[in-house]
Structure 1
Amino acid sequence: MSIIKNDFEKMSISKIKKAKNTKKLTVITAYDALFAKLFSEIADMILVGDSLNMSFAGKNDTLSATLEQMIYHTNAVCNGAKNAFVITDMPFGTYTNKNQALENATKVYAQTNAAAVKIEGGEDRAPIVEHLTKNSIAVMGHIGLMPQYVRSEGGYKVRGKTQEDIEQLIKDAKAIEKAGAFSIVIEGVMSDAAKRISQEINIPTIGIGAGKDTDGQVLVWSDMLGFFEEFKPKFVKHYLNGAELVKGSVEKYRSEVQNGTFPSKNEEY
């Protein structure tokens, strides 16, 4: 199968904003140069997500990811995808107040080629988002189910089930938009509620577990390609049976090593 790349266009903040109601945006995570290069001329944006703490480092949640880890992996992604629009997750505990957030986001900008950072939170985080954007840091917001709130919320809970919660989510989105964010991730939100939120704001919304009426979608690469085997979230579609393919290939390699057919004359000097 050939991949058509002639329609690929490097994204910018202005192009992302203009995509609202005109083009569905495709976002995927990446944590290294190899996969970032594979994704770079297909996805509109690449997110270096703190999800790497789970899918890459084997942790139970995202909370112990460090700024140093995020900078390391962002550099790897930027090296592999030099023309991509790369966004870095600000990890838990690195933006508890405006000054700390600016100091840490400035480190990300100074030490990587990331185009933007992502911050979880609604109205409560709007002053921090505003402080960053006023100091030339591009920010993507993140509302709804927020992985960094998993312990304080008592688990991963779908949002937007009540009118009261929907109204709060709309307030959150508007506050983050007003603070200067160029887009907002909406995670784990009832599809009707996510649609309403998307209609209420003028910047693109990127859904994950939020239905089809957001302005784009984001998935963790190891989820969508079937490499993560522990469980499959309801919102994930497997586009490849990655784990099965890799295991089968390694088993074939082992078999050929054991029976002496690898290396053959073709692999010898």
Structure 2
Amino acid sequence: MDSIPPRAEPAPDRKSLTSWDRAKRSQTKRVLITAYDHPFAKLAEQAGIDGILIGDSLGMTIQGGRDTLRVSLEHMLYHTEIVARAAQACLIMADLPFGSFEASPAQAFASAALLVKAGADIIKLEGGAPMVETVAFLSARAIPVCAHIGLTPQHVRQLGGFKKQGKTADAAALLLADAQALAEAGARMVLMEAIPAPLATEITKTLTVPTIGIGAGPGTDAQILVLHDVLGLSGGYVPGFARTYLDGASLMRDAIGRYADEVRTQAFPPPG
């Protein structure tokens, strides 16, 4: 039987943004995962995760929607508060949901400030060049921002589905320019989703701020996956770039089924 290799220890300082900057300079990979509730956030932190994203992906993984567009700011505040309460040693990132930031920088600040008060250390927002002014506005007002480019799920209807971005030379150049503009505006991190690996590597080498990849190859400073994909709990569409490390759905279904069987056969609860 193959031995299980020892797990790498997480950095002692996972929470501060300056520690993420140092990790980039030292080429130390960092890892994030999504989580939406207290038990899973606590487990993720105990497993050594460096950062937890409370993503608007909860619209699909938790609420059962076909996209993220129905997630409200109130939903995000609720899940951010309970995750932040559970995981206090790692970085907490929260999404600005659709409709909560696009109208104006002032709207974005009002929404982001509520998420910070709920426990977020950094706020993620989707969009390229149109969001540069908003990123600058938030950064100047003590709101750390992670910019999200490439496949931006809130634009899924404009994009025609969850499709890989930046595949042509022109599209790649536009994404590189967006990443540079967002970083220059004050973004502390840039997340890249579903773009070619060489492009993600080029952007990572160009920027001085940390990059996070999901479906963007191994050349980014950090990686993130959706918790439910990792644990085999998605129960539906799983992106081709994701990796499942556990058949969680079968294990949990079996446990619940055994409980039901024991009740029906009167093996549970025990007498007395």
Correspondence for 2:148: 142
**Aligned-pair distance for 1:104?**
1.2
**Alignment of 1:242 onto 2:260:** no
Correspondence for 1:190: 196
**Aligned-pair distance for 1:5?**
5.6
What CA RMSD, in Å, does the superposition of the two structures yield over aligned residues? Answer: 1.7
Deviations 1:195-228 (A, max 9, x none): 1111111111111011111111101100111001
Correspondence for 1:87: 93
CA distance in structure 2 between the partners assigned to 1:4 and 1:194 by the alignment: 25
**Alignment of 1:262 onto 2:243:** no
CA distance in structure 2 between the partners assigned to 1:74 and 1:86 by the alignment: 8
**Alignment of 1:19 onto 2:23:** yes
Structure 2 vs 1, CA of residues 31 and 6 (structure 1 numbering), >3 Å: closer, same or farther?
A: closer
Give the 3-state SS of the residue equivalent to 1:222 in structure 2: helix
Give the 3-state SS of the residue equivalent to 1:86 in structure 2: strand
Deviations 1:146-165 (A, max 9, x none): 00000122212211211111
Matches within 5 A, 1:103-114: 103-110=110-117, 112-114=118-120
**What letter is aligned with 1:109?**
V
Correspondence for 1:102: 109
**What letter is aligned with 1:237?**
R
- TM-score, normalised to structure 1, is 0.94
Structure 2 vs 1, CA of residues 212 and 5 (structure 1 numbering), >3 Å: closer, same or farther?
A: closer
**Aligned-pair distance for 1:8?**
4.3
**What letter is aligned with 1:62?**
T
Structure 1: where are the runs of 5+ without partners?
A: none
Percent of aligned positions that are identical: 38
Structure 2: where are the runs of 5+ without partners?
A: none
- TM-score, normalised to structure 2, is 0.93
Give the 3-state SS of the residue equivalent to 2:24 in structure 1: coil
Runs of 4+ in 1 over 4 A off after TM superposition: 1-8
**Alignment of 1:231 onto 2:237:** yes
Correspondence for 1:76: 82
Correspondence for 1:215: 221
CA contact (8 A) 1:17 1:183 kept: no
**Aligned-pair distance for 1:186?**
0.4
Correspondence for 2:57: 51
Correspondence for 1:35: 40
Deviations 1:114-151 (A, max 9, x none): 11110111111111001000000010110000000001
Structure 2 vs 1, CA of residues 84 and 7 (structure 1 numbering), >3 Å: closer, same or farther?
A: closer
CA contact (8 A) 2:105 2:133 kept: yes
**Aligned-pair distance for 1:84?**
2.5
Find the partner of 2:211 among 198, 205, 214.
205
Give the 3-state SS of the residue equivalent to 2:31 in structure 1: strand
